[in-house]
Amino acid sequence: MTARVAKWPGVELSAADLLEGKVTQTRFRPDAKYAWSAGEAISRFLEELQAGRLIARTCHRCERILFPPRMFCEECFRPTDAWTYIRDTGTIETYSVSYLDTDAKRISEPILVGVVSLDGASPKMGMMHYFGEMTKDEIRIGMRVRAVWRPAEERKGSVLDIRYFRPLREGER
């Protein structure tokens, strides 16, 4: 059948056809604004970030320490049991060196970004964040890192209250 079809449907347009309006078209820019409720677990998580701490929830049944915190355990499908602070040090699980910003625009100074699993939480439990005080050639999976916090008066209760994670220094643990 694919060999028998003479012409496959579809009319291709060039970028100019579209962007310079060579075909009839309608333009629209939605303006949708939101306030996402943080809920029980993440409200507390944000409150603790503002205080310069990381907090997790424990599940007594599977004995995991869940981070980011949540009020129910997806493994056991039951409510989690207690709050517990974890450390602001951890290990780089993976990372990327990005030359793209959020809109896919090219940037010359790359962003170092990745996942940090945090000390005190169950293995692999972590968060996405930026890395700093290291170059793209120094960063590696398995690197030990620590959060660099914004000054208390600048914190707003956001993941951005941590500026980035930096390498653990000689003698630090």
Partner 1 sequence: MRKVGVIGAGMTIFRRRLQETGKEMCFEATRMALDSAGLSIGDVDMVVNGTAPDAFDGVHMKGEYLLDGCGGYRKPYTRVFTGGGTGVFSTIAGWWHVASGLADVVLVVNEEKMSSCQPHPQSVFAHIWDPILDRPLKPNLVWIFAMEMNRYMTVYGIKKEDIARVAVKNKRNAVGHPCAQLADANITVDDVLKSEVMAWPVQRLDISPPSDGASAVVLASDDFIRRRRIKDRAWISGVGWCIDSTMWTDRDLVFPEYVARAAKMAYGMAKVRDPRREIDFAEPYDPFDYKELHHLEGLLLAKKGEAPTLTREGVTQRDGDLPVCPSGGLMGVGNPIAATMGMKIGELFWQLTGQAGKRQIPHEVRTGVSQAWGDLMQYGCVVVMRA
Partner 2 sequence: MTFLERTTDARRYRAWEGNMEADYIYTSGLAGQRFFVALRDEGRLLAARCTACGLDYLPPRIFCEECFAELTEFVPVPPEGQVASLTVAHQDRTGALASPPQVWAFVTFKGVRGGLLHRLLATPDAARPGMRVHIRVRPREARTGTIADIEGFEPARSTK
Measured from the CB atom, the residue of 81 and 101 that comes closer to Zn ion is: 81
Measured from the CB atom, the residue of 85 and 99 that comes closer to partner 1 is: 99
Instruction: Give the burial class of 5: count Cβ atoms within 10 A of its Cβ; 0-12 exposed, 13-18 middle, 19 or more buried.
Output: exposed
What's the CA dihedral at 95, 131, 124, 66 to 10 degrees?
-140
76 binds Zn ion (CB under 5 A): yes
CA distance linking residue 167 with residue 173, whole number of Å? 11
39 binds partner 2 (CB under 8 A): yes
Out of 42, 52, 53, 62, which residue is the one contacting Zn ion (CB under 5 A)?
62
51 binds partner 1 (CB under 8 A): no
56 binds Zn ion (CB under 5 A): no
For residue 110, give every residue at least 6 positions away whose Cβ sits within 8 Å of its Cβ, in sequence order, or none.
97, 98, 99, 136
Instruction: Give the burial class of 83: count Cβ atoms within 10 A of its Cβ; 0-12 exposed, 13-18 middle, 19 or more buried.
Output: middle
Taking contact as CB under 8 A, which single stretch among the options 73-81, 105-113, 116-124, 137-145 is the one that binds partner 2?
73-81
Which position has the token pair 């060196």?
A: 97
Per CB under 8 A, residues contacting partner 1 are 1-5, 8-15, 17-18, 23, 28, 30, 34, 36, 38, 42, 46, 66-68, 70, 74, 93-104, 110, 113-115, 124-130, 136, 141, 158-160
